[in-house]
Amino acid sequence: MLAEYQITLAPQVRETARSDAREVLDKALAQVGFIPNMYANMAHSPGLLNTYLEGYAAFRHGSGFTPTEQEVVFLVISRENGCEYCVSAHSFLADKASGVPAEVTDAIRDGQPIADQRLQALAEFTRVLVSSRGLPSAAQTDAFLTAGYSERQILEIVLAIAVKTLSNYSNHLFHTRLDDIFASRRWVDSR
């Protein structure tokens, strides 16, 4: 999903970026080994990109979710927000870095149930948190907790929603071009 309006700012290049933007691009480069197109766009607001990088790292390292569960959360949020860039990128990461079974990733991409009941509970609760804007019912929350997750992890999903809101909305506004590395898992929102 892309915004009707497209931001026309050219992607930031590390070598010509302002010093504050260059600093956060260097941080991004150190974290992921290259500067994705999304980061090059977000660097126009160094605070935006830095907040994204800090929140993303905090979720990855302190959420209490496994790498597979982390990708489930990121994929569900990005799909709910209609971010073709992030669904594509996280599908690639799910396949290549996080060890998510392809059938789980594909179910999320296709809006279908996940066979693994625990992951399905996580995906559904994440979807509910996004679609309800943080107002799940007691029954929806109980289903999440009964699946073995904790109240603290509810807050970690809120963190992931915040991070993905930064990237998803930026990508909508920039019409961010998908990096070639993620092209094998390109996703187009056909809803």
- The domain ranges of the chain are 19-185
pLDDT in tens, 122-154: 999 999 999 999 999 999 999 999 999 999 999
Q: How far apart are the first and last CA of the chain?
A: 10
Q: 140-148 long-range CB contacts below 8 Å, 24 or more apart?
A: 146/121, 147/117, 147/118, 147/121, 147/122, 148/118
Q: Which helix (H) or strand (E) covers residue 87, if one does?
A: helix 84-96
Longest dimension (CA), the chain: 52
pLDDT in tens, 22-55: 999 999 999 999 999 999 999 999 999 999 999 9
> Domain 19-185 is of which CATH architecture?
Up-down Bundle (1.20)
pLDDT in tens, 77-102: 999 999 999 999 999 999 999 999 99
